[in-house]
A and B are shown apart, each in its own frame.
Chain A
Amino acid sequence: MSSTVGLSPIHLPDPDEFARTFMTLHRSVLDGADVVEVFSMLAESCVRLLPVKAGGILALDSLGFLQVIGASDLSVDLIDLCQVQNLEGPSLRCCRSGELVADTMLSPQGPWPRFSELATSLGYRAVYAVPLRSLGVVIGSLSLFGTEEMPADRLVAAKALADAATLALLQADPREDTMVVARQVHLAVESHNTVEQARGMIAQRFGMTDDGAIEQLRRAAAQLGLPLVDVARATVHRDALHPAVSLLQQPLG
């Protein structure tokens, strides 16, 4: 069974942690964080604050396709689980309706059998799709995956965080200025693609798994204090002057 959850008064499970998260998200926008960083932070926050194991961000591109632009972790399984929702799944419905969608049954007889099969094979029992909305315009969805059902008040907290992050990030009014939104989403999608390209290069270079390769890129980014996408872009361009390129000649221990 899938159901749609409406807005109800927010009852916060952990108000202090929630407030800190909200401030961190907001501050990162003020500090110039990009779409991918802010939404990845949102997914990570949801995993920390809510009884879910993983989260992924799907944005609607200019052609109406759902594109992965970030996730709480960039494991291949999680990305597959997000992307398969271009065919069917709660996120597709969420983006179309603009409403939060929950499925705690994940049955092969349900509305999205292929998605349910993949999700259960990865050990998930409950999935949620939270709309990313700014002033009534849906630009994508936050997919949350858990091993147990989550209380409704927690979901409302996720929704509030998602709304705040989206609004802060897009700043411009999407009803007036769809171009700003389309441009941000466009950049986020291409950034994610470049991270995947760099990941393939590193996996090949060091003969490691895709998940090992993303860890290498993350370590390089952390060591250099640079965004992941900067490291990925330099790797793909083979930019000899970029410190990440020399750093990633050897596996980082």
Chain B
Amino acid sequence: MTGDRWRELAARLDHLAAKESLPRAICQLAVERLAAPSVGLTLCLGDSFSRLADTSAVAGHLDEQQFALGEGPLWDCLMTAVPVLAVDLAAEDASRKKYVERWPSFCREANERGIDAAFALPLQVGLVTVAVLTVYRDHTGPLTSTEYVDGLSLAALATTALMAERTGEHAEDLAEVFRAGVHERSRLHRAAGMVAERASIPIVEAMVRLRAHAYATGRPLGDIARDICDRRLVLPAEEQP
């Protein structure tokens, strides 16, 4: 059942990405599935952040403001590496005003633009957050569980797709790439750790190198990871100065 959802989401993303940039396609798919016109995608690597795409001026502004202010759901998501679900940014009654208390400046910015709820979903490689997809809604209330699961699935798919774009893999192979790795997920992360340590590079960069090597040599990612863990393979790029 969930495998079908995955394939369906991947196919839709592929379709959208044929017409516009991948980051825009990711945001567009979030708009379709999460019933929100304003969605932003922000890339976070080390200490630098850059807005990759947004579907409205409001989303762009609110994403940017959170870095200027140092507060907001996107910011919290980045710090905690868990989805942050702020269901009521305008609440005045005591039980729900925790968001206003937590992010007073952000909430004011959001309210002025008619945004009453925001959901920040992390794109992750382990606990490292690569990017954050933030969904802004003009009404209060939680995501439905279908919307939430679609959101998490889209975040996982987007992570894979953004890495694939850097390594030159074809988008149509993505669903297969992701599925194939599932029963070797732990080994893949372990191999990425070894590459990161040896080359003194961030873990996300190590993951990209693993995938690039798999793609360039036409071998399954799981085999590459196994060879690295068994010390039968050292990635060529690691030896460059």
Which A residues have a C-beta under 8 Å from some C-beta of B?
A: 62-68, 76, 79-80, 83-87, 178-179, 182-183, 186-187, 190-194, 196-205, 210, 229, 233, 236-237
Contacts and interface: CB of A to CB of B under 8 A. Distances in A.
Nearest to B121: A186
A80 B197 CA distance: 23
B185 A186 contact: no
B128 A63 contact: no
Contact of B196 (A62, A192, A197): A197
Contacts of B3: 63-64
A197 B189 contact: yes
Contacts of A237: 128
A187 B129 CA distance: 12
A229 B126 CA distance: 11
Please name the 4 residue pairs, one residue from A and one from B, whose CB atoms are nearest each other, closest first.
Answer: A200-B193, A64-B2, A193-B126, A196-B189
Given A194-B126, A200-B229, 6 more contacts: A62-B153, A182-B145, A194-B128, A200-B190, A201-B193, A233-B127
Given A63-B6, A190-B124, A83 B193 contact: no
26 contacts: A62-B153, A63-B3, A63-B6, A64-B5, A64-B6, A80-B187, A83-B183, A83-B184, A179-B143, A183-B82, A186-B83, A190-B81, A190-B124, A191-B127, A193-B186, A197-B126, A197-B196, A199-B190, A200-B189, A200-B192, A200-B195, A201-B196, A204-B193, A210-B190, A229-B127, A237-B128
A186 B152 contact: yes
B96 to A, nearest CB: 16
A66 B1 CA distance: 14
Contacts of B191: 200
B57 interface: no
B193 A190 contact: no
A97 B176 CA distance: 26
Contact of B5 (A63, A66, A201, A202): A63
B126 A190 contact: yes
Interface of B: 1-3, 5-6, 81-83, 85, 124-128, 142-143, 145, 148-149, 152-153, 156, 182-187, 189-198, 203, 229
Nearest to B150: A62
Contact of B156 (A63, A196, A197): A63
B190 A196 contact: yes
* B interface secondary structure, majority: helix
Contacts of A202: 193, 197
B127 A196 contact: no
A204 B193 CA distance: 8
Contacts of B192: 197, 200
A194 B127 contact: yes
Given A193-B189, A196-B189, A62 B152 contact: yes
Contact of B186 (A63, A187, A192, A205): A192
Nearest to B145: A178
Contacts of A204: 193-194, 197-198
B182 A83 contact: yes
Contacts of A200: 189-197, 229
B85 A201 contact: no
A182 B148 contact: yes
Contacts of B142: 179
A86 B183 contact: yes
Nearest to B190: A200
Contacts of B82: 183, 186-187
Contacts of A179: 85, 142-143, 145, 148
A182 B152 contact: yes
A24 to B, nearest CB: 26
Nearest to B82: A187
Contact of B229 (A191, A210, A233): A210
A66 B3 CA distance: 12
Contacts of B183: 83-87
Contacts of A198: 193
A178 B83 CA distance: 13
B127 to A, nearest CB: 4
Nearest to A203: B194
B190 A203 contact: yes
A89 to B, nearest CB: 10
Nearest to A197: B193
